[in-house]
Amino acid sequence: MKQLFVVRHGETDNNKQRIIQGSGIDASINERGIRQAQAISESLQEHRIDRLICSSLKRTYETAQPLAELKELQIERYPDLNEINFGILEGEKFTEIQPAIEEIHQEWSNGNVKYAPDGGESPLRAFERAHQKVLEILESSEKESEVIVLMVYGRLIRILLSEWLGLGLENMHKVEHQNGAINRLIWYEGIFKAIELNKTDHLLELI
């Protein structure tokens, strides 16, 4: 049995301003995001952690740094764990393109999970690449018990958890979380099981 902490990165200015950012925007976390990263590190300090993994983008790497320093771990970075690509919508303010966003979300909620924004990526494609990489990570060690932390993204967390927990991609909008939230799962014989979802008590002083 292996344990997996799936954590959303700290806040960026784009998050604060409700600007669409996917894999095509490599933003750093802001001052609040830095405090969230420290809070994540403090929340996980009591756990044994064997591997600390993030994507190739700055916002997950910067969020992982305090925990890496605390646990004296090297951060492993994989582009297959990058956020979904939102195509031509990236860099746009949500309020200015809300009808287009709602249309995309409606397609996905209706089960058309192969649908992608122009120049972007579908939820199904994002799941396939990220899920395959997570399986490679989980299966790459012969240790029966291992604790792994994944620092990833808002939409990617919705995508992964909705499939892993049997909701289906069409219901990914039901997966609740915020910047800095922690999800705790176990993986045994190819099955993911949730232990704790959307843990945010470590962030209360930052809200």
Specify whether 9 is catalytic: yes
- Distance between CA atoms of residues 160 and 21, nearest Å: 18
Over the Cα atoms of the chain, what is R_g? 16
Task: Kindly name the residue from 9, 62, 146, 202 that is annotated as catalytic.
Answer: 9
Catalytic residue among 46, 47, 62, 83: 83
Reference 119, options 84, 86, 79; nearest CA is 86
Specify whether 202 is catalytic. no
Nearest to 131 by CA among 147, 150, 114, 146: 150
Amino acid at 180: G
The catalytic residues are 9, 83
